[in-house]
């Protein structure tokens, strides 16, 4: 943990301005060396015996003073702003090492420290999916320290919830009730919702369905529900580019296997539209394949999915089996359109023939396989993972363009156009 937490960055002693927000003063002083650390080393509700700084150009801002508790708000603000490094004084490095040993971080069930769910008992939901003036038939909670506090009981109006930046939760057994609620809101306010509001509702509904499907990939009812939601996404993105903008904004906040599935589906449809694929049946086939592209990961050892750092050769071999496992699962589901399977079986193939599982080269890779390969990689690079900082869309696309022979370059440039037009 300590090895991963300490970064290479080292700043020599220098006269700088230090802003102390806690005590309300600014001072110029000669400081010791600053050393960068990963924020993944910081544990919620812990009390470090060292000061934690953020760097803003040439100024180091005291973010959390020694002896004060690191709160959920501290960590969520960092992640929301995609800040992955903090700084400590070199004189505090031993205190930091001891802290790491005392507070070894355990990954959450989905590998995301912001959206930690204790034993799967609670599920995160977003404010945008809750409509003021409606009635919910499930309790809504917010998490503070190690407790989930009730903020709205069943029967209440979500408009009464204050603090739009709060991450809200429902109990896991209430997922189905929440899913029903989302559908009722969509039906009741169909003509009154903005495109962004409707997109948020559909997106949250997709997350719930895919979460359940990944837990039990043989649930044909959930597979059918996911397919129906793909139809809605296709229709929304086809009608209005604002729907795509809304999805990109939501997609940037979190990463789970199930949110990744929804993101890739959305990006794939947008890319296909940019390429001139406009007929709804083809878009829906592509969308279904993209939504289910990682279904095989439900059969892979969860520890591999959560592992920070590189996989061993044996672990990587096991990870690669998710493609064929996904093929088998999807082929066993009823009413899956035939061409959807290409998105699942070929999303790790590469134009130069160096992908897996089949080692297909350009001429053998279906259009859907090429599209989903690009969108899968793009979403993985632009969302915060347990083991890496999210890249900006520009940085991700530059990196992908530099991987010669991996992706269909013409399609990749079409994705750049699609994103640039939003």
Q: What does the DSSP assignment read for 286-322?
A: HHHHHHTTTGGGGGS-HHHHH--SPPPHHHHHHHHTH
For 162-217, the pLDDT digits (tens) are 765 566 888 888 988 998 899 888 888 877 887 777 877 888 888 888 888 888 88
* Co-location of 147 and 289 in the same domain: no
pLDDT the model gives residue 387: 59
pLDDT at 265 > cutoff 90: yes
Strand partners, 59: 17, 56
pLDDT at 17 > cutoff 50: no
Strand partners, 38: 85
Question: Using 50, 70 and 90 to split pLDDT, how confident is the model at 57?
Answer: low
* Co-location of 227 and 111 in the same domain: no
Are 369 and 357 within 8 A, CB to CB? no
Paired tokens of 269: 């449809």
Are 41 and 100 within 8 A, CB to CB? yes
Rounded to whole angstroms, the Cα distance separating 73 from 61 reads 17
pLDDT at 138 > cutoff 90: yes
* Co-location of 225 and 79 in the same domain: no
Q: Is residue 178 in some structural domain?
A: no
Rounded to whole angstroms, the Cα distance separating 195 from 25 reads 45
Q: Helix 257-274 vs helix 409-420: angle between axes, to the nearest 10 degrees?
A: 90
Are 370 and 408 within 8 A, CB to CB? yes
Cβ neighbors of 298 (< 8 A, separation 6 or more) are 213, 214, 215, 216, 217, 329
We report the CATH number of the domain holding residue 305 as 1.10.3210.10
Average pLDDT value over all residues in the chain: 79
* Co-location of 235 and 155 in the same domain: no
pLDDT at 255 > cutoff 90: no
Q: Is residue 189 in some structural domain?
A: no
Among 60-64, 199-203, 337-341, the range of highest mean pLDDT:
337-341
Question: If you ran DSSP here, which 8-state letter would residue 93 be given?
Answer: H
* Co-location of 198 and 97 in the same domain: no
Query: Domain of 267?
Result: 194-420
* Co-location of 247 and 366 in the same domain: yes
Are 183 and 201 within 8 A, CB to CB? no
Better-scored residue on pLDDT, 249 or 60? 60
Paired tokens of 307: 């592992």
Q: Is residue 26 in some structural domain?
A: yes
Number of domains in the chain: 3
* Co-location of 75 and 114 in the same domain: no
| Domain closes at, from 124, 140, 173 | 173
10 Å Cβ neighbour count for 264? 29
For 373-422, the pLDDT digits (tens) are 999 999 888 876 655 677 888 888 888 988 889 999 999 999 988 887 66
* Co-location of 112 and 254 in the same domain: no
* Co-location of 90 and 167 in the same domain: no
Better-scored residue on pLDDT, 334 or 58? 334
pLDDT the model gives residue 23: 38
The residue whose two tokens read 């672990």 is: 315
| Domain closes at, from 46, 76, 102 | 102
* Co-location of 149 and 80 in the same domain: no
The closest of 362, 359, 344 to 268, measured between CA atoms, is 344
Q: Please name the residue ranges forming H helices in 62-159.
A: 72-80, 93-102
Rounded to whole angstroms, the Cα distance separating 19 from 35 reads 17
The closest of 229, 214, 227, 219 to 332, measured between CA atoms, is 219
Cβ neighbors of 211 (< 8 A, separation 6 or more) are 123, 175, 256, 258
Q: Is residue 180 in some structural domain?
A: no
Q: Is residue 185 in some structural domain?
A: no
Tell me which long-range contacts 270-279 makes (C-beta under 8 A, separation of at least 24): 270/237, 270/244, 270/418, 271/371, 271/374, 271/375, 271/411, 271/414, 271/415, 271/418, 272/371, 273/237, 273/238, 273/418, 274/414, 274/415, 274/417, 274/418, 274/421, 275/371, 275/411, 275/414, 278/238
pLDDT the model gives residue 287: 95
Q: Is residue 66 in some structural domain?
A: yes
Cα dist from 169 to 87, 147, 213, 257, whole Å: 31, 12, 20, 18
For 348-379, the pLDDT digits (tens) are 999 999 999 999 999 999 999 999 999 999 98
Q: Is residue 184 in some structural domain?
A: no
Paired tokens of 169: 């939760």
* Co-location of 84 and 111 in the same domain: no
Rounded to whole angstroms, the Cα distance separating 95 from 50 reads 7
* Co-location of 14 and 74 in the same domain: yes
Paired tokens of 184: 């009722």
């Amino acid at each position: 943990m300590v090895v991963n937490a300490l970064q290479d960055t080292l700043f020599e002693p220098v006269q700088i301005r230090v802003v102390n927000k806690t005590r309300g003063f600014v001072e110029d002083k000669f400081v010791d060396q600053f050393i960068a650390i990963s924020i993944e080393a910081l544990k919620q509700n812990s009390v470090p015996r060292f000061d934690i700084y953020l760097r803003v150009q040439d100024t180091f801002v005291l973010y959390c003073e020694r002896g004060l508790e690191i709160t959920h708000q501290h960590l969520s603000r960092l992640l929301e702003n995609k800040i992955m490094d903090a700084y400590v004084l070199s004189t505090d490095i031993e205190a930091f090492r001891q802290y790491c040993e005392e507070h070894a971080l355990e990954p959450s069930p989905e590998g995301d420290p912001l959206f930690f769910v204790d034993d799967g008992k609670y599920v995160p939901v977003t404010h945008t999916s809750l409509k003021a003036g409606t009635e919910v038939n499930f309790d809504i909670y917010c998490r503070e320290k190690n407790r989930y506090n009730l903020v709205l009981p069943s029967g209440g109006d979500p408009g009464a919830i204050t603090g739009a930046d709060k991450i809200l939760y429902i109990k896991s057994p209430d997922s189905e009730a929440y899913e029903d609620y989302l559908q009722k809101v969509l039906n009741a306010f169909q003509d009154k919702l903005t495109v962004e509001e409707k997109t948020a509702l559909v997106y949250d509904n997709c997350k719930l369905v895919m979460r359940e499907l990944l837990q039990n990939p043989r649930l044909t009812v959930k597979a059918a529900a996911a397919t129906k939601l793909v139809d809605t996404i296709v229709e929304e993105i086809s009608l209005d580019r604002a729907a795509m903008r809304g999805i990109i904004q939501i997609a940037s906040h979190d990463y789970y296997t199930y949110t990744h599935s929804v993101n890739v589906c959305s990006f794939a449809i947008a890319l296909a539209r940019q390429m001139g694929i406009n007929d709804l049946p083809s878009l829906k086939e592509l969308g279904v394949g993209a939504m289910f592209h990682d279904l095989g990961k439900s059969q892979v050892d969860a520890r591999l999915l959560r592992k920070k750092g590189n996989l061993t050769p044996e672990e990587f071999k096991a990870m690669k089996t998710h493609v064929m496992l996904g093929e088998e699962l999807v082929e066993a589901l009823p009413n899956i359109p035939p061409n959807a399977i290409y998105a699942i079986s070929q999303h790790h193939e590469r134009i130069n023939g160096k992908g897996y599982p089949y080692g297909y080269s350009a001429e053998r890779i279906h259009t859907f396989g090429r599209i989903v390969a690009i969108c899968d990689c793009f979403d993985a690079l632009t969302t915060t993972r347990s083991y890496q900082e999210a890249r900006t869309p520009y940085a991700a696309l530059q990196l992908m363009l530099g991987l010669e022979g991996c992706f269909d370059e013409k399609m990749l440039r079409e994705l750049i156009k699609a994103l640039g037009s939003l």
